[in-house]
């Protein structure tokens, strides 16, 4: 009881304390454990950044080698899980397959619940999840196109392994382009954590009930699926394709986005916290231009995206509301260049966000001082108490 303050969308509620990500939305600053994402994206491998997020410090050479070895040894799925993929309909969404499979991992690897983890803490489960999410993602794609599964290889690094599992074929061996592996590496780093966004808050809230890590992350994957969150990367490319098929008339879409009677929004624009250019989008935009130039790829969707951005950045509607491109605006164009199908884009986001979800869940579980089940209140807006009406009088 007492006075409850309504905070729709939790715009102004701090739900936890966290030491992982620092985000300054007014100035477009994003750090992981005090390191600027620009520097991490430029100098690190995704595995190295995942280690940082999970272990709070950048790894030494030996620590990184050991973590890379974990990525290799946990990459296989239990063979029984392979049958899962046979029983989804052919057009099943890879996000649904991912969330289901991550939840099911708990049945195959329940050690963390039973405190049998020989290394203590959640390190083995964390490495398992991080490594296996690639395998689940690639297997779901292979099944959807009816191709044989390609198993993970001990010789390839994190990103190369994923690309190889996606695109290698017995009759047409895949040559991993270093440019793609490096662009993917950067994209995953930029998605690794982003404080209390919708999916991360979901992971914490579900976990606060005492639910296991796999189930909590499975719920986070479902939250990420929506087009206002991670699903935006897919929605952006669909929007750009629609504009292209509409003769390239992007001004029409700008007008639609501004029309308050039209539910259409410019996907990949706007952010709850950033009121300036999303620092991740800056790096991705540059990386997108570089890769297109380097590989001499001409994607008309990139031209449309640039035009949209140009107009939106000078249009009063977008300027007055501080609507800038966010992380999802240019990422899909890079994924497209790599040959990743549109319905897998949000799965890519989930792969990148995995270290953040695990670290946030662990941080919550280890914060004994503030350990309470997440349980927001409401402002009641219904009837006052009234007499019961028997069925015959209704």
Q: Which residues bind ligand CMC (CB under 6 A)?
A: 9, 197, 228-230, 232, 257, 265-272, 321, 323, 326-328
Give backbone dihedrals phi and psi of 169, rounded to 5 degrees, phi first: -140, 145
Strand order in the sheet with 21-24: 21-24, 29-32, 35-36
| Catalytic annotation present for 328 | yes
Which CB sits closer to ligand CMC, 113 or 310?
A: 310
Instruction: Give the length of the chain.
Output: 394
* Cα–Cα distance, 73 to 88 (Å, whole number): 27
Which run of H or E residues covers position 31? Answer: strand 29-32
Catalytic residue among 70, 193, 278, 328: 328
The residues near 223 (Cβ < 8 Å, ≥ 6 apart) are 198, 199, 201, 202, 229
Q: Kindly state the smallest distance separating residue 19's Cβ from ligand CMC, in Å.
A: 21
Cα 364 to chain centroid, rounded: 20
Query: How far lies 385's CA from each of 64, 282, 285, 382, 388, in Å?
Result: 62, 55, 57, 9, 9
CA nearest neighbour of 190 among 281, 256, 113: 281
Query: How far lies 242's CA from each of 94, 187, 247, 308, in Å?
Result: 22, 25, 9, 13
Which CB sits closer to ligand CMC, 77 or 232?
A: 232
Which CB sits closer to ligand CMC, 147 or 313?
A: 313
Residue labelled with tokens 């007055």: 320
Give backbone dihedrals phi and psi of 132, rounded to 5 degrees, phi first: -75, -25
Which CB sits closer to ligand CMC, 177 or 265?
A: 265
Which CB sits closer to ligand CMC, 228 or 294?
A: 228
Q: Kindly state the smallest distance separating residue 233's Cβ from ligand CMC, in Å.
A: 7
Q: Kindly state the smallest distance separating residue 321's Cβ from ligand CMC, in Å.
A: 4
Q: Kindly state the smallest distance separating residue 229's Cβ from ligand CMC, in Å.
A: 4
Which CB sits closer to ligand CMC, 48 or 328?
A: 328
Catalytic residue among 191, 193, 271, 278: 271
| Pairing between β-strand 29-32 and β-strand 21-24 as defined by DSSP bridges | antiparallel
Which CB sits closer to ligand CMC, 77 or 340?
A: 340
Q: Kindly state the smallest distance separating residue 163's Cβ from ligand CMC, in Å.
A: 23
The residues near 269 (Cβ < 8 Å, ≥ 6 apart) are 257, 312, 318, 323, 324, 325, 326, 329
| Catalytic annotation present for 191 | no
Q: Kindly state the smallest distance separating residue 153's Cβ from ligand CMC, in Å.
A: 31
Q: What is the dihedral of CA 285, 291, 296, 300, to 10 degrees?
A: -30
Cα 272 to chain centroid, rounded: 16
Query: Per DSSP, what are the bridge partners of residue 29?
Result: 24
Q: Kindly state the smallest distance separating residue 32's Cβ from ligand CMC, in Å.
A: 16
Which residue has its beta carbon closest to ligand CMC?
A: 270
Catalytically annotated residues: 271, 328
């Amino acid at each position: 009881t007492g006075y409850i303050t309504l905070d729709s969308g939790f715009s102004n509620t701090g739900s936890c304390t966290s030491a992982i990500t620092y985000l300054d939305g007014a100035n477009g600053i994003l750090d992981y454990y005090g390191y600027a994402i620009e520097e991490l994206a430029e100098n690190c491998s995704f595995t190295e950044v995942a280690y940082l997020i999970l272990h709070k410090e950048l790894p030494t050479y030996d620590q990184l080698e050991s973590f890379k070895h974990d990525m290799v040894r946990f990459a296989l799925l239990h063979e029984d899980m392979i049958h899962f993929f046979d029983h989804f309909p052919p057009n099943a969404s890879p996000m649904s397959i991912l969330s289901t499979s991550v939840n099911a991992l708990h049945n195959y690897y329940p050690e963390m619940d039973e405190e049998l983890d020989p290394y203590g803490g959640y390190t083995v489960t964390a490495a398992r999840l991080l490594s296996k999410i690639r395998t689940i993602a690639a297997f779901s794609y292979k099944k959807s196109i009816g191709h044989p599964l390609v198993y993970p290889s001990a010789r390839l690094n994190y990103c190369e392994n994923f690309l190889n599992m996606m695109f290698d074929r017995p009759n047409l061996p895949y040559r991993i382009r270093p440019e793609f592996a490096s662009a993917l590496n950067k994209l995953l780093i930029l998605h690794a954590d982003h404080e209390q966004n919708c999916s991360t808050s979901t992971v914490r809230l579900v976990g606060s009930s005492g639910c296991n890590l796999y189930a909590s992350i499975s719920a986070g994957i479902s939250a990420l699926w929506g087009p206002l969150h991670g699903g935006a990367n897919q929605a952006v490319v669909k929007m750009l394709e629609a504009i292209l098929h509409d003769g390239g008339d992007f001004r029409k879409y700008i007008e639609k986005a501004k029309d308050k009677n039209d539910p259409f929004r410019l996907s990949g624009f706007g952010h709850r916290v950033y009121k300036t250019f999303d620092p991740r989008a800056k790096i991705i935009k540059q990386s997108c231009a570089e890769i297109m130039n380097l590989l001499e790829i001409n994607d008309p969707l990139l031209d449309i995206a640039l035009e949209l951005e140009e107009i939106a950045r000078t249009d009063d509607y977008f300027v007055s509301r501080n609507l800038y491109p966010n992380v999802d605006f240019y990422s899909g164009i890079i994924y497209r260049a790599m040959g990743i199908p549109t319905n897998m884009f949000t799965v890519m986001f989930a792969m990148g966000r995995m270290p953040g979800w695990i670290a946030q869940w662990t941080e919550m579980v280890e914060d004994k001082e503030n350990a309470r089940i997440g349980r927001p209140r409401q402002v009641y807006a219904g009837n006052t108490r009234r007499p019961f009406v028997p069925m015959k009088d209704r």
